[in-house]
Structures are given as C-alpha cells and as structure tokens.
Structure 1
C-alpha cells in the first residue's frame, strides 16, 4: 500500500506543483501546498487509492490556499507592460509572463476559479466542489475574472474565450 502511494505521489508531484503555482503565484508557497496535499492524501490513502486521489489533492490545495489568503488578505496592484513580441521562443516566454502578471491582477478566488476551470479543465460543478462554493459563485467568478483579464491583457484575448 505504501508503494502504491509512493508511485502515485512521484507521478503526480510535478502536475500538482504546476497547478499550485498557478493557484497562488508563489513557487515556495506552492511547494508547501503540494506537501500539505500529499501528506493528507497519504493519511487517507487506504480510502483514496481506489477513488480519486488527484481530486482530493486538488481540493486540499485549493482550500489550504483559500485559508491562507483569508488570513493574509491584501490587495496587490501590478502594472502591466506590453511585452508581446514576434513569433518564437522569446514570444512564448513573453506571453507566459504576461499571463502570470494578468493572473496576479485577479482576486484569489477569481484566480482559483480560472486555474481550476481552464488549466485543470474541471467542470463548473467540479470547481465548485473543490472550492467549497456554490455553482453560481463559480459562474459569476469565472465571468468577472475573464472580463478583468480581457481588460488588463487584451493581447491574450484568444486564450480567454469562455466555453459555451
């Protein structure tokens, strides 16, 4: 049983870390979120191994992050510059930096909603369950977040198409 968990944790550690970085915007805090999630999954592995350990790990990260930003609530304003350039690897880096700065313009709840819906590709219902909120909250937060992203980073418009 321990080997199963170890195998699962090794396979999922990097994908969970990528999600955590997008959720909180800080690599060090993201590592802590992943560590907390892996610890909690390990403690419940006998019940989770045949179910959905990934979903549980995501839920732990989201809720731990929500608890953190409730305790440390502050508004951070970042000024965006136009960093788009021509095609090539440098343009991809510029686009990623622009996306990171645009995500930083969102509230923590909006950012979480966008990451779960569009990066993790969760449904509205799955996102609501992971965040511990109602379906309407996910819908409204998604709408407001996408509108804000369009306003602060119009260069990313093709990435921000709402699903129909």
Structure 2
C-alpha cells in the first residue's frame, strides 16, 4: 500500500494548543501519533511524509523516533524539518511527481494554486496549513483536487492513495461521502 501524511510535529508541545489537538501532553500526542501511524503503515508499505515530522527535538531524538515509523519512507521537506539521517529515507526531496494506478500526484509540503496535470485530473497533496477535513471537502466541492494529508485533517492517521481517490470520485458520482 501507499500512504501519505504530514505535520506530525513530534516533540512540539505548543502545537497541541495552537491546533487544538486533543492531547493532554506532548508525550501522549507522540505516543498516539506513532501508534496510529504504525497501526496502518506496514514495514513493506511506502509512505510519503510531506514535511514537519518533528519540531523542538534534538536530531538524535528525531532520528530515533523516525526509526520507529514503519514503511519505506520518502520525505518531502517541510519548513520544520532538519537534517535527519538520510539513511532513514528512500529519498529526501522538496517536490515530487508520482503516478499510481493512472492517477497523477504532485507532492509538496506547501499547498499550490497550480500543479502538473491539474487540468487533466491530477491531484496535489500537501501539508503545512494544519487544516481540518472541511478544507478538503471545500476543495472537493470547488472541483479542486488539492488535499491536505496532514494529521490534523485526517483524524491523526496517514491516508492511503485509495482513500484520497475515493474521496474525490464518490463526490463526482454524487454518492454520499
């Protein structure tokens, strides 16, 4: 399977208050985010992390935490990412275009107004803005295939390619979402 996530902000105590996350402490947040991630992503899966893995952690603590995350990890760098051990990732990039089952995805930490294949059904996946699901729903209603894969918009879990495509396709077909 292929998954996407962003904006975990492991180690960032203030993000709980800033984003009204439902955690009592940074330790609880880090534990739940790690459990949620590993409950979905298996060791053989591929995961694209669209930035901001950790914040306010030493590089050694960050690397130790990243080692605990399942899957073959690609990092699309965010504004809070540091020089993590590159051996923890398949690749570290600023931007990436991928095709999965005929669907085209443009991956960047930041939301874009335009992206490759936007006019022909391409998707833009991002993080950074810590949106809630309402943001993704508004994009869908406006015909924009732009989706925030960040944990704040996805109940603190990674999201699969299938989930993203289904999210947009069900709406196009007029099904209840």
Is TM > 0.5 for Structure 1 vs Structure 2?
no
Q: Which has the higher strand share?
A: 2
Pick the structure with greater CA Rg: 1
Q: Which has the higher helix share?
A: 1
TM-score scaled by length of structure 2: 0.28
